[in-house]
Amino acid sequence: MDKTIEILEFLKFSEKIKTQKRSVQKSDGTFESVSDHSWHLALMVLLVAPHLKNKIDLLKSLKMTIIHDLVEAEIGDLPYYDNINNSSLSDKKELEEKNEIQKINQKLLKINKNLANELYSLWYEYKKCESNEALFVKALDSLEANFQSIILGDISYWGDIHHEVFLNKADKYCKHEKILENLNTEITKRMKNKIIKIKDKK
């Protein structure tokens, strides 16, 4: 059976991630979208994968990258600081995400049952960090956000309370791979320099 209409309807739904803003600014001073983040993360996966000691399934990792924030097309992004410092907001977001991935799965089932089941499973695998691919994408997810945070020349829009949180954000995800540790070290060093400049201006 031809699935043209169903495919276009799902693309129409997923387009919303282009409109959902995150709390990090881009190099031009505007705030990035969820799709901006997901695209940059996918590129990082391609660039970093060849340097891993523990080999991963690249296609699986890319699929995970594409699906990992798709729920935010409908419910939006919760800033990292709020997510870890407000348990009620975090719990609410977790419940909303689980409800939304169910709805996404129902949409995908109209297109292809195997694809729907695969992406549904990958989303949960990522959330639970149950595989080398999930650990890899989770690490890069944190690193991408931190790197994007410092691309802008002036990061004074950050509040002081955010500094320590973001400096240590990726540490626990990067310990199992040297290339991830090296990326984290370099990004953190640059972030510290940015923070020092902000404090020197005060």
For the domain that residue 121 is a member of, what is the CATH number? Answer: 1.10.3210.10
The per-residue pLDDT for range 66-102, each reduced to its tens digit, is: 999 999 999 988 777 666 667 788 889 899 999 999 9
CB 64 within 8 A of CB 38: no
Structural domain that includes position 116: 4-201
Q: Mean pLDDT lowest for which of 47-61, 146-160, 179-193?
A: 146-160
Look up residue 188 and give its two tokens. 């953190």
Name the DSSP letter for residue 9. H
Q: How many domains does the chain have?
A: 1
Longest dimension (CA), the chain: 65
pTM for the model stands at 0.90
φ and ψ at residue 50, rounded to 5 degrees: -65, -15
